[in-house]
A and B are shown apart, each in its own frame.
Chain A
Amino acid sequence: MSKPKLRTRLAALSFSEKVKILEKLRERSRAIAACGLRQKPSRKRDV
């Protein structure tokens, strides 16, 4: 499915369904943040 079609389809969901997706997106972000997989910003800048 193309990206614009997917966006339209997601936008057409009920608010309850969209909120469920929001909650999953948030849980995923928190899980990623908690497991430390995100790269820490380097202290030294590459020149």
Chain B
Amino acid sequence: MADNGSVKETLEVINNMQAEGVIRKYAIGGAVGATFYLEPSATVDLDVFITLPGESAGPLVSLAPVYEHLKAKGGRVQDEYIVIANWPVQFLLPANELERIAIAEAVETEVEGVPTRVMSAEHLVAIALRVGRAKDHSRILQFLEQGAVHREKLQDILEQSGLTSKWREFERRFLEGSR
């Protein structure tokens, strides 16, 4: 893997891993996913949500096959990341139905000709709301300010995910008085 890596090279490795059947589907989330819809903001890592072949819904699903595959191809484990083409990648298994649907309904796009998938804006916002750190709230506000979310679709996702009351709380804290 190259020293002077790029997101493009990282995605090529992940696509190969998918083609070889190590992972089933993937979708980019986090700051890089948000960048698909918003202005770019500095980030040090790439969050990749994945499903595995034959994955059961149990809590004991392991990322070991992914790590073993990537280490054999020169990937380097660094804390919770595996560095691929010089980008630290955090592979995340869906922790709930919201994340599972977000992977399934991700948007097809490409980076310099390399096909990839990014979570929808509405799923990114719903996941950020659920995670609820200061930087997640800030990102939600960016999505709203830039009109990057379809409000009805977001409401549907929030209702399906049981996040309606959390959203009301978010609105009360951050949006009341700004309308």
Contact = CB atoms under 8 A, between A and B. Distances in A.
Given A15-B36, A16-B110, A29-B44, 11 more contacts: A8-B146, A10-B39, A11-B39, A18-B39, A19-B8, A22-B7, A22-B42, A22-B43, A23-B6, A26-B43, A29-B42
Interface residues of B, number: 21
A19 B118 CA distance: 13
Nearest to A4: B145
A23 B7 contact: yes
Interface string A3-47: 000111011000110110111011001000000000000000000
Interface string B37-71: 11111111000000000000000000000000000
Interface of B: 6-8, 32, 35-44, 109-112, 118, 146, 148
B40 A16 contact: no
A44 B33 CA distance: 40
Contacts of A8: 146
A7 B35 CA distance: 12
B44 A10 contact: no
Contacts of B43: 22, 25-26
B99 to A, nearest CB: 21
B110 A26 contact: no
Nearest 8 A/B pairs, CB to CB: A10-B39, A21-B40, A25-B42, A18-B40, A22-B40, A7-B39, A19-B7, A11-B39
A25 B43 CA distance: 8
